[in-house]
Every structure is written in C-alpha cells, then in structure tokens.
Amino acid sequence: MFENYISDLGSYNYTSCPYIWDFGQMICACAMIPGALYIRKLFATYSKNGEGIKESSRPRVILSYLCFFSMLIALVGLFGVGLFSEDRTTALHLHLFFTYVTFGGFAIVSLFFGLAITFYPTLFPRLFGLYMIILPPIACVIFFTTFIQFSEWMLMFSIMVWLVPFAIILLRHLNKEIRLVVKS
C-alpha cells in the first residue's frame, strides 16, 4: 500500500496473470449497470411504510437521476481502467484518465447517495449517508492533490466501506420484493 498503486495488480510487472484483474473490472462495471437502474427507481419512489410514493418531490427525483448518472460515469471509468491497464495504456495516458474518472465518479456517487440517504426516507440508516457525504469525497480530494500510493488505497477503502454494505442491503431488499411478487 505504501509502494504500489492499485493498478499494479493489473500489470505484468507485479503479477503473472493481470488479465484476471482487468477482466474483473470490466465485468464488474457491466454487472453494476442494472443495480444503478434499480437504485435510481428505488430512490425516486421508496417510502418507509412500504407503499411507493406516487408523486415524488422534484428534488428527490433530480437527486435520484444525479445518483444514476454519476454511477454510470464511475462505471465507464471502471471499465476503462480494466480495458487500458498499466501495460496497455496509450500515449494519451488513458489508464490514468480512467483512474481519475473512476475514483472521482465514485466519490461523487458517494456524495449524491449520501445526500439522498440523509434527507429522504431510504433503506439505509442516515448515519451511513453522513459517512458517504464526508469521507469518500475528502479521501478523493486528498488523493487528487497528493497522488501517492497510500492515498489511493485509502480512497478505495473509503469507497468499499460504503459500497459493500450498500450492495448487501440493496440485494436483501430486492430479494424481499421478488418474494412478494412470487407469492402474489
């Protein structure tokens, strides 16, 4: 963490089979697109009592679309980082560009999701939303100003701390909805 960037996991200089890392990033980016669509719909219409809001407020709908579009930007970046690994980057330094898009995109995603969670009823606790508003954007600013290996790892960990529980909670909610549909 103090000597290597995360992208070194996808380089022949550090591993014998970097394609596993690169393809994993591209597959993960594609696999997260349906989740981004579901989250947009869920944030625009979720209510605590289980009944969807028929007329969502305009700011809530706008925030749900901002969450969705920023997630798509982050996923395009993630796909690009896998496609243009350190070993396959171009004279335009596309790997570095997509790294910025990925990390900046996920920090913005974190900010928008955090705002949605903090100010509107959602599946997620408000404290979770506050974390998302504060830590990943700060870690992103630190990384973009220092460009040192450790700050990149800390940014990734700050994103994973909200992304993994976020996905688990979302999958549990989706599972409940599927069970309700199957029973009816």
Q: What percent of the chain is predicted at pLDDT more than 90?
A: 49
**Cβ atoms of residues 24 and 56 within 8 Å:** no
**Cβ atoms of residues 102 and 81 within 8 Å:** yes
Q: According to the model, what pLDDT value does residue 184 have?
A: 73
Give the integer Cα–Cα distance in Å for 44 and 61.
5
Task: Evaluate whether residue 83 is within a structural domain.
Answer: yes
46 has pLDDT over 70? no
**Cβ atoms of residues 134 and 104 within 8 Å:** no
Report the SS3 class of residue 42. Answer: helix
Task: Evaluate whether residue 123 is within a structural domain.
Answer: yes
**Cβ atoms of residues 18 and 87 within 8 Å:** yes
What number of CA atoms fall less than 13 Å from residue 30's CA on the CB side? Answer: 7
Q: According to the model, what pLDDT value does residue 78 have?
A: 95
Query: Taking residues 117-145, what's their average pLDDT?
Result: 92
Give the integer Cα–Cα distance in Å for 6 and 51.
43
Task: Evaluate whether residue 62 is within a structural domain.
Answer: yes
Q: Kindly report the CA angle at 165 between 50 and 11, in degrees rounded to 5?
A: 140
Q: According to the model, what pLDDT value does residue 23 have?
A: 92
pTM: 0.86
Q: According to the model, what pLDDT value does residue 53 have?
A: 46
Task: Evaluate whether residue 1 is within a structural domain.
Answer: no
Query: Taking residues 91-99, what's their average pLDDT?
Result: 88
135 has pLDDT over 90? yes
pLDDT-derived band of residue 48, with 50, 70 and 90 as boundaries?
Answer: low
Alpha helices in 5-125 (DSSP H): 19-31, 33-45, 58-83, 94-119
Domain count, the chain: 1
Structural domain that includes position 151: 6-183
Q: List pLDDT tens digits, range 98-127.
A: 999 999 999 999 999 999 899 888 888 999
45 has pLDDT over 80? no
Give the integer Cα–Cα distance in Å for 52 and 23.
38
